[in-house]
Structure 1
Amino acid sequence: MIYETLVCITEEINNNFKRNLQTNEEKVILSGIMNQDGSVAIQGENKIVVTLLNVEKDTIGKGATGAAAGVTMPNTAAAVNINLYVLFSAYFSSGNYPEALRFISFVVAYFQSKNVFTRANTPGMDKRIGKLIVEMESPGADKLNNIWTTLGAKYMPSVVYKVRMLSFDDSIIKEYRPGVSDATGNMGTV
């Protein structure tokens, strides 16, 4: 459900940009910033890149599902609630820095106007996701430096959000889709 959550948020922001900026181009992409070999993972420029930074167990929301919600599941462990820390960074060409700042501002404005996602206000949201709450995080300069160092990239204008309350149990495991390789054995995407 991590993938489905991040794809949903990426699509929602893209749709918002298309409506409000009258653009047909996908300006928001879900991607890592750097490949394992140190090369840039992002295809193209002038994009907002959505990158998962961390997955955290939510101990405050404990008991929000299962028996506390009136549901009993014999012989199964209680669902675990998690939070996602997501980086939205502006990967724009060096001569386009003002535009990078504008697009980071657009992301902040978007989440200011819509910080709760439900199936009622987000029709494309996976039916297994009940509700997502998006909150801005404010990492200090030291943490921000650690984030960019860990990612192996140079700093870009960015903002970090915490996406709360994904609930996991073993019912999310439905299928495995192995990567597709070409004739030379190189892995590609489906």
Structure 2
Amino acid sequence: MIFEAIQLLSQQLNDYLKIRFRLTEDIVFISPIKDPSKSFPNRVGITIVGVERETGAGVSFQRRVVSESTSAQSVPAWQISLNVLISVIFQEKQYEESLRLFSAVIAFIQKNNMVRSANEDISFSLEVMNMTIHELSNLWSICGENYYPSVVCKIRLLTVDAGEIVDLSYLISKPEQTTDLR
């Protein structure tokens, strides 16, 4: 689910930027922050910088009917959020161009606070996280890179469910009653 969500965000942002700037090549890539200019120069990079478990919904063990005579219980699904860094990585000489692209990235996020796949099997909310200069400085320092125009967003409400059965039970039913009307 994590890869699919990041890939969906990457595809939709890429399509938006290609249309807006009339680009013929992909410009958005899922990439690490380390040495981004060497691996993906003049690109928009999407990087996971954190995962958080959402506990507000509580925990509920899920029981479902498997057949007429059995039911199964599985481990509760998790709701998680991903913190992603969206960076516009251009060479220093193209800083103005990177700011044009960065403005478009911000517009995309503002317009698409809910991201859905075409068949709607994946959907999540996308929101900008407010970070202080100190937090941003720490993030980029950990990555060992200079700062690039970037925004940290939270992808909310992804469900992680391995679907593994932890208990299989037989259903108890009433004995069938037949009426003999002779």
Note the residue ranges of structure 1 that are not aligned, 5 or more in a row.
173-190
- Residue by residue, what CA displacement relative to the aligned partner does 1:126-148 show, whole Å, maximum 9, x if unpaired? x3x3x200010011111111111
Quote the residue 1:77 is aligned against: 75
- Counterpart residue identity of residue 53, structure 1: V
Q: Distance in 1 between matches of 2:17 and 2:36?
A: 25
TM-score (norm 2): 0.78
TM-score (norm 1): 0.75
Quote the residue 2:57 is aligned against: 61
- Counterpart residue identity of residue 118, structure 2: P
CA contact (8 A) 2:46 2:84 kept: yes
Q: Distance in 2 between matches of 1:101 and 1:27?
A: 15
Q: Distance in 2 between matches of 1:124 and 1:32?
A: 29
CA contact (8 A) 2:125 2:157 kept: yes
Instruction: Determine which structure has the larger strand proportion and give its number.
Output: 2
Deviation at 1:100, TM superposition (A): 1.1
Quote the residue 1:143 is aligned against: 135
Quote the residue 1:107 is aligned against: 105
Answering whether residue 86 of structure 2 is matched by residue 95 of structure 1, we say no
- Residue by residue, what CA displacement relative to the aligned partner does 1:14-40 show, whole Å, maximum 9, x if unpaired? 111122221111111110021xxxx55
Q: Distance in 2 between matches of 1:96 and 1:61?
A: 45
Q: 1:163 aligns with which of 155, 167, 172?
A: 155
Distance change in 2, residues 1:21/1:30 (3 Å): same
Highest relative contact order (Cα 8 Å, sep 6+), 1 or 2? 2
Q: Distance in 2 between matches of 1:10 and 1:96?
A: 22
Distance change in 2, residues 1:104/1:24 (3 Å): same
Deviation at 1:170, TM superposition (A): 1.0
Three-state SS of the structure 2 residue aligned to 1:72 is strand
- Residue by residue, what CA displacement relative to the aligned partner does 1:71-114 show, whole Å, maximum 9, x if unpaired? 63433111011000000111101100011111111111001111
- Counterpart residue identity of residue 89, structure 1: S
Instruction: Describe how 1:38-49 pairs up with structure 2 within 5 A.
Output: 39-40=35-36, 43-49=39-45
Instruction: Describe how 1:18-57 pairs up with structure 2 within 5 A.
Output: 18-34=18-34, 39-40=35-36, 43-57=39-53
- Residue by residue, what CA displacement relative to the aligned partner does 1:42-76 show, whole Å, maximum 9, x if unpaired? 5342111100000000122335xx56xxx634331
Q: How many percent of aligned residue pairs carry the same amino acid?
A: 29
Note the residue ranges of structure 2 that are not aligned, 5 or more in a row.
65-71, 165-182
